[in-house]
Amino acid sequence: MKIGIIGAGNIGGNLTRRLTALGHQVSVANSRGPHTLSALAEETGATPVTVEEAADGARVVVVTIPLKHIPDLPGGLFDKAADGVAVIDTGNYYPKERDGRIDAIEDGLPESRWTEQHIGHPVIKVFNGTYAQDLLDRPRPQGDPERIAVPVAGDDEAAKRVVRELVDELGFDTVDAGGIDDSWRQQPATPVYGLRAGVAEVTEALAAAPKERPAAHSF
Ligand SMILES: NC(=O)c1ccc[n+]([C@@H]2O[C@H](COP(=O)([O-])OP(=O)(O)OC[C@H]3O[C@@H](n4cnc5c(N)ncnc54)[C@H](OP(=O)(O)O)[C@@H]3O)[C@@H](O)[C@H]2O)c1
């Protein structure tokens, strides 16, 4: 599958490693330009590209950059993507530590809905609560009792199906966490965030999420 990855840090770098190892054709971009990605390209066989090129022909695009930089992404990002492109959002809002105050999110807008509004495309929220290193260290085959499950939220059911299949291929179970209006249940400081557990426990943790934004995680 042709996959574009925007962001080549902890998550983007490790997804580039795993997805190329699985045989996917990966294009990867960062903010500084393709010439700064030669080591990752050499290691993985991925193609370093500009942000503007990352989605070209892609069936799946992963957006994995710090939330505060989302508004810097160029318009028309998905114009040349494959029809029905699934856009994965791994992002989290860290107001104190990284992103600064974002009023709409503080007022209750789900983080991924804010991202959708900026990039102009629906997203599938997944891996936002997964430790980057776990992408390398904890994939397990289907049925393995140690297999971790991750929540997947999004409004486009067809795109969600594509993403759930890809996550399964990456070695993780998935739990349907509903649409983006429900995706606050997997945001930072919720019970499921960072949880290493199987389908049953992840399902329970999603249900147990308190609606109020935890004070410790507000600006
Ligand atoms: N780290 C984790 O374990 C983890 C786990 C789950 C979710 N997340 C979330 O996933 C997102 C990415 O986290 P991360 O830890 O992978 O970040 P990171 O290591 O800081 O890497 C950020 C990447 O984004 C790129 N970038 C920044 N602004 C950009 C722009 N305008 N256009 C293109 N690329 C841009 C950076 O490129 P340059 O280096 O060239 O600036 C860098 O490659 C965050 O929202 C984070 O909260 C992280």
Identify the CATH number of the domain in which residue 134 sits. 3.40.50.720
Inside any domain, residue 219: no
Q: What is the DSSP letter of 181?
A: G
* Cβ–ligand 1 contact at 112 (below 6 Å): no
Q: Does 78 have pLDDT greater than 90? A: yes
Give me 32's structure tokens.
């500084």
Inside any domain, residue 48: yes
For residue 34, give the nearest of 19, 24, 49, 22 by alpha carbon.
49
Give me 184's structure tokens.
């606050």
Inside any domain, residue 145: yes
Q: What does the alpha-carbon distance between residue 188 and residue 93 come to, in Å, rounded to a whole number?
A: 8
Inside any domain, residue 180: yes
Question: Once rounded to an integer, what is the mean pLDDT over residues 87-115?
Answer: 97
* Cβ–ligand 1 contact at 199 (below 6 Å): no
Q: How many domains does the chain have?
A: 1
Residue with tokens 């993985």: 44
Question: Once rounded to an integer, what is the mean pLDDT over residues 35-58?
Answer: 98
Q: Does 217 have pLDDT greater than 90? A: no
Question: Once rounded to an integer, what is the mean pLDDT over residues 26-49?
Answer: 98
Contact 193, 187 (CB under 8 A): yes
Inside any domain, residue 104: yes
Measured from the Cα of 12, ligand 1's closest atom is: 16
Inside any domain, residue 218: no
Quick one: pLDDT at residue 121? 98
Q: How far is the CA of 8 from the centre of ligand 1 (A)?
A: 7
Task: Show the CA angle centred on residue 109, arms to residues 107 and 114, nearest 5°.
Answer: 125
Inside any domain, residue 217: no
Quick one: pLDDT at residue 211? 84
Residues 6+ apart with CB under 8 A from 87: 60, 61, 62, 63, 78, 119, 121, 122, 123, 124, 159
Segments forming the whole domain that contains residue 107? 2-212
On average, the pLDDT of the chain sits at 97
Measured from the Cα of 36, ligand 1's closest atom is: 40
Q: Does 214 have pLDDT greater than 80? A: no
